[in-house]
Amino acid sequence: MRPLTIDLPAWLDEVVDRSRAYRSDEDRMGVAIDLSRENVLRDMGGPFGAAVFESESGRLVSVGTNLVVRHHNSALHAEMVALMLAERQVGSYTLAGTALPRHELVTSCDPCAMCLGAVLWSGVGRVVTGAMREDAVALGFDEGPVFAESYRYLERRGVAVVRGVSREESRGVLELYRSRGGEPYNG
Amino acid sequence: MRPLTIDLPAWLDEVVDRSRAYRSDEDRMGVAIDLSRENVLRDMGGPFGAAVFESESGRLVSVGTNLVVRHHNSALHAEMVALMLAERQVGSYTLAGTALPRHELVTSCDPCAMCLGAVLWSGVGRVVTGAMREDAVALGFDEGPVFAESYRYLERRGVAVVRGVSREESRGVLELYRSRGGEPYNG
């Protein structure tokens, strides 16, 4: 059977600086927001970006943007792309391996139901979000069956969650998407 | 950036018969269960299989098994593989396009939180499951934050759900996995 090949835009590497450490949540969120903005400006798809960092060192491990429409693949949310690439990088299906430093996912918007589940299986120890669920919903995006209890489930499994970091800037990219005529592709 | 390439086992094509129509839920579930069993017998990973069908014609569109451990990719649950391949096949990020027949996902076990979210974005109009959540949990697999309300959410979005079809046979594959020393990889 022909492999499932997901081509990744070359600019994903070009718009981020991998030579520096990202110390604060706001620094890390800046990467996710930059990615989300570039995704809009380059007409790649939904206004969402994400990145995986090593929590302690602040090293940038992987990045992702929403590639759903271009790639004919509804699973390619920014978080999924970033998590799959991080796992490829460490060579394991889990970022929680004993030989690995703690990892975290930083995403420009609250994850949808699919991505929230994926967070759990990825082995990241922390999630940081920018825009809130209601910001995405206001734009017409559906976030799926995510409830307060869903976040508590993650926390009980040892995944810390911090929401709404640089929320206004993240939301600004959602507005930019709308102002350019971008439609929610799964309305 | 190097593409993300997911190599698919050649036997995925060999263990299913694409020349016939699958009329009943039990017929369709048989495909998902066969895939789950082969995945165990070939030591490919978790004891889960899934397939996408055209609801009306019973035509088999795509198949998937759990490839998480082998592929170092925690997103590669059977349902995700089958849905991504179905979308590739129709050339769209949604199986709910107006020019397309209605599609459905048949999976050998209740979907986890990630896969339940993915169902919504895939555009399938129906989900049929085999083994129940508690059967997977009894084996040590975590299903994530899925609640009764999650299923109601799908139904409100027009996705019909039928659970527990050929449950005993599906559960038998979970038992087979355990009897061969298979461990839940994300326990």
- The residue ranges of chain B whose pLDDT is under 70 are 186-187
Q: Is residue B65 part of a domain?
A: yes
Question: What is the pairing mode between strands A126-131 and A160-162?
Answer: parallel
Which residue of chain B comes nearest to A86, CA vs CA?
A: B73
Residue A141, classed as helix, strand or coil, is coil
Can you list the positions of beta strands (E) in B42-143? Answer: 49-54, 60-65, 103-109, 126-131
Name the residue with tokens 């429409």. A69
Query: What pLDDT, on the 0 to 100 scale, is given for residue A10?
Result: 93
Task: Kindly compute the dihedral angle of the four CA atoms of residues A60, A78, B109, B39, in this order, to the nearest 10 degrees.
Answer: -60
Q: Is residue B12 part of a domain?
A: no
Q: In what order do the strands lie in the sheet with A160-162?
A: A60-65, A49-54, A103-109, A126-131, A160-162
Q: Is residue B113 part of a domain?
A: yes
Q: Is residue A17 part of a domain?
A: no
Q: Is residue B44 part of a domain?
A: yes
> Is pTM, for the whole model, over 0.95?
yes
Put simply, the answer to whether B114 touches A114 (Cβ < 8 Å) is yes
Put simply, the answer to whether A121 touches B186 (Cβ < 8 Å) is yes
- Cα distances (angstroms) measured from residue B169 to each of B51, B125, B127, B134, B187: 16, 25, 18, 15, 23
Put simply, the answer to whether B147 touches A147 (Cβ < 8 Å) is yes
Q: Is residue B132 part of a domain?
A: yes
* Domain harbouring B160, CATH code: 3.40.140.10
Q: How many domains does chain B have?
A: 1
The mean pLDDT value of chain A amounts to 96
- The residue ranges of chain A whose pLDDT is under 70 are 186-187
Put simply, the answer to whether A10 touches B4 (Cβ < 8 Å) is no
Cα A141 to Cα A186: distance, rounded to the nearest angstrom = 7
From the list B71, B43, B96, the residue with the least C-alpha distance to A4 is B71
Put simply, the answer to whether A115 touches B116 (Cβ < 8 Å) is no
Instruction: From chain B, pick out residues whose CB is under 8 angstroms from the CB of A73.
Output: 84, 87-88, 93
Please tell me which of the candidates B12, B88, B117 has its beta carbon nearest to residue A72.
Answer: B88
Residue B45, token pair as written in the block: 């990973």
Query: What pLDDT, on the 0 to 100 scale, is given for residue A186?
Result: 66
Put simply, the answer to whether B112 touches A117 (Cβ < 8 Å) is yes
B37 to chain A, minimum CA–CA distance in Å? 19
Asked if residues B171 and B47 have their Cβ atoms less than 8 Å apart, the reply is: no
Cα A36 to Cα B15: distance, rounded to the nearest angstrom = 41
| ipTM of the complex in this document | 0.97
Domain that holds residue B138: 20-179
Q: Is residue B13 part of a domain?
A: no
Which residue of chain B comes nearest to A84, CA vs CA?
A: B73
pLDDT over 90, % of chain B: 93
Please tell me which of the candidates A74, A83, A113 has its beta carbon nearest to residue B116.
Answer: A113
Q: Is residue A186 part of a domain?
A: no
End-to-end CA distance of chain B: 33
